[in-house]
Amino acid sequence: MQESATVETFLKERTPEAFSPVIDEHIGMLRSFVYRIVLNEHDTDDIVQESLLAAYTSADSFKGNSKFSTWLCRIAANRSFSILRKGRRTIVTDGEDCPEMKDASTSHTPDRPMIGNETHGQVMTAISALPEHLRAAITLIAIDEKDPDEAAYILGCPKATLYWRIHKARKLLAKDLGELIR
């Protein structure tokens, strides 16, 4: 796998100094990825911190069979599921509690519905209600547009299971968001 120069350097040197630019390179991506699973800023940062620390201390177990970023996502996904399970956390949101939204008008195209505050809240509620494995699967495929093999690796499941989770997630979301996608 072709890695960025920063990752290559870190894998060679394995020093905190070499890891610093790797953190810069991946922290944003990891935060987005984890946030979509746990939907909580505090837990997200804890997970990102643990995951990057784990990646540093266990860099020798990275065999290069996947991209470094994919490997990081896998560590972070495991940690996220673990945190959610340990806490038996139920993510409850409603439209009013949703974070303020950005101006969506810039991304609006005729075949791409612009979503307003209310809709954003509705989608948030529907996504929050999904079991974490389904949420992770659908966001990896529908939002990140990951390759199914890569998504399956990140989630540590066979591809068939990934497809099933996506199918199930779509079904549940379609049920909850029926009026938006008619």
Tell which positions 162-181 bind other proteins, by CB under 8 A: 164, 168, 170-171, 173-174, 177, 180-181
C-alpha to C-alpha distance for 13 and 15, rounded to whole angstroms: 6
CB of 3 to other proteins, least distance (A): 16
Name the residue nearer to other proteins (CB basis): 2 or 51.
51
CB of 114 to other proteins, least distance (A): 7
Spatial contact of 123 and 181, defined as CB atoms under 8 Å apart: no
Residues 109-138 that bind other proteins (CB under 8 A): 111-115, 119-120, 123-124, 127, 131, 133, 138
Which tokens hold the place of 118?
């209310």
Got the DSSP string for 115-159? --HHHHHHHHHHHHHS-HHHHHHHIIIIIS---HHHHHHHHTS-H
Map residues 78-97 to x or -, x wherever contact with other proteins holds by CB under 8 A: xx-xx--x--x---------
Return the closest-CA partner of residue 77 out of 61, 94, 54.
54
CB of 160 to other proteins, least distance (A): 5
